[in-house]
Amino acid sequence: MCFRTCSVVGEGHFQTFDGKLYTFAGPCQYVLAEASNNAFSIDVETVLCGSSGITCTRAIDIHIGNITIFMVKGSEISVNNVQITLPKYYNDLRIEQSGVYYIVTSDIGLKVKWDLGTRLYVEVDPLFNSLTSGLCGNYDTDQTNDFTTRTGLVEQSSENFANSWQVLNNCPDVEELSLDSPCELHPERKAWAMRHCNIILHSTFEECHSKVEPEPYFDRCTYDACGCDYGGDCECLCTAVAAYAQECNDAGVYIKWRSQDLCPMQCESGLEYMACGPTCRQTCDTISGEDPLHCSECVEGCHCPHGYVAQDEGCVLADECPCVYENGEYPPGTVITKECQNW
Ligand SMILES: [Ca+2]
């Protein structure tokens, strides 16, 4: 069975585990997903990112057992209030970075991917069927009950539903239909937004169109590109296009859509841009291991070229990794009485 994914992309565009799409803009802290067996909970904090009232993700709290992982834009990740450096491996928990994403993987059947911006994905094992609630909905393959509030009512509007999932119930409720379309509020931005978001409908993504319907992503893109006026308008546009590209990746179609003219991504220290790079960054330490299951999908971003592995901030030739034997490091090619694997 496959993991089910819930996403929060761009400016408050949600897709529940059961696939229901909605947009909700409320600046507050909300329960994104929690399991009724207390296995995990994930809270998300959103802030205003445009004058028309749209909101963006600013921070995420992940609680798994007695561990709390806190990620906030512009700061280091902390675990139980202690800052950590990546990658960090615990017995049943991994926190690592690959491409544009920070990735938390837990053996309980939970994976959280966040680009520290406006792309957030939560994946759960099917064993959580009928156990989740929050803004990601109750996962039971039935979309019609996804707007279930904290008190168990099924609401029609995303606002009434989402308001009930405030973590502390300390923010003003968002009114139904309080948000006009950002393109109506900012008509001067509409043409620019439409023109650039058009790449989603364009031949660049043609191969993906039959796998992932492009129109909803085009609509979200124009919404975000019109509304995101607190600086970084290009970032909003690029994220919206990248969100469609990520869906294409998940569907097995890898499209290199970035260019010098549209959303170029500069990679440093010998890394190169890949539309579909490995989820798990290989290092000299991990190269001997098999790719664990959780590394099977791919993510876009800056990755070491083929044949290279990550070392410090940059990459080294895999062949040049030192041999490690009984905690000692030896140059490549060293022959020890007991066999050291040479790479
Ligand atoms: Ca449901």
* Interval between CA 146 and ligand 1 midpoint (Å): 4
* Interval between CA 290 and ligand 1 midpoint (Å): 36
d(CA 62, CA 69): 5
* Interval between CA 4 and ligand 1 midpoint (Å): 12
* Interval between CA 126 and ligand 1 midpoint (Å): 13
Same fold, 4-163 and 272-330: no
* Interval between CA 140 and ligand 1 midpoint (Å): 5
* Interval between CA 249 and ligand 1 midpoint (Å): 25
Which pLDDT score is estimated for 49? Answer: 81
* Interval between CA 141 and ligand 1 midpoint (Å): 6
**Would you list the domain boundaries of the chain?**
4-163, 182-250, 272-330
* Interval between CA 51 and ligand 1 midpoint (Å): 33
Please provide residue 31's backbone torsions phi and psi, each rounded to the nearest 5 degrees: -80, 115
* Interval between CA 130 and ligand 1 midpoint (Å): 8
Which pLDDT score is estimated for 248? Answer: 94
Residue carrying the six token digits 């890394």: 271
* Interval between CA 25 and ligand 1 midpoint (Å): 21
Which pLDDT score is estimated for 292? Answer: 57
| CA 242 distance to own-chain centroid | 11
Question: What is the mean pLDDT for each group of 10 consecutive residues in the chain (343 residues)?
Answer: 88 94 93 97 91 85 96 90 92 92 95 91 96 97 96 95 94 78 88 94 96 95 86 79 92 92 88 88 74 69 90 86 66 53 48
* Interval between CA 64 and ligand 1 midpoint (Å): 22
* Interval between CA 35 and ligand 1 midpoint (Å): 13
At the second CATH level, the architecture of 4-163 is 3-Layer(aba) Sandwich (3.40)
* Interval between CA 33 and ligand 1 midpoint (Å): 12
d(CA 273, CA 175): 42
Residues near 287 by beta carbon (within 8 Å), at least 6 away in sequence: 309, 318, 321, 343
Q: Are 35 and 132 in contact (CB under 8 A)?
A: yes
Which pLDDT score is estimated for 343? Answer: 45
Nearest Cα neighbor of 48 from 174, 150, 161, 163 is 174
* Interval between CA 39 and ligand 1 midpoint (Å): 19
* Interval between CA 163 and ligand 1 midpoint (Å): 18
* Interval between CA 31 and ligand 1 midpoint (Å): 16
* Interval between CA 143 and ligand 1 midpoint (Å): 5
Which pLDDT score is estimated for 72? Answer: 92
The whole-model pTM stands at 0.84
Which one of 2.10.25, 1.10.357, 1.10.3470, 1.10.10 gives the CATH number of domain 272-330?
2.10.25
Please provide residue 118's backbone torsions phi and psi, each rounded to the nearest 5 degrees: -115, 35
* Interval between CA 132 and ligand 1 midpoint (Å): 9
* Interval between CA 129 and ligand 1 midpoint (Å): 9
Burial annotation 300-331 (CB, 10 A radius, 16+ → b, else e): bbbbbeeebbbbeeebbebeebebeeeeeeee
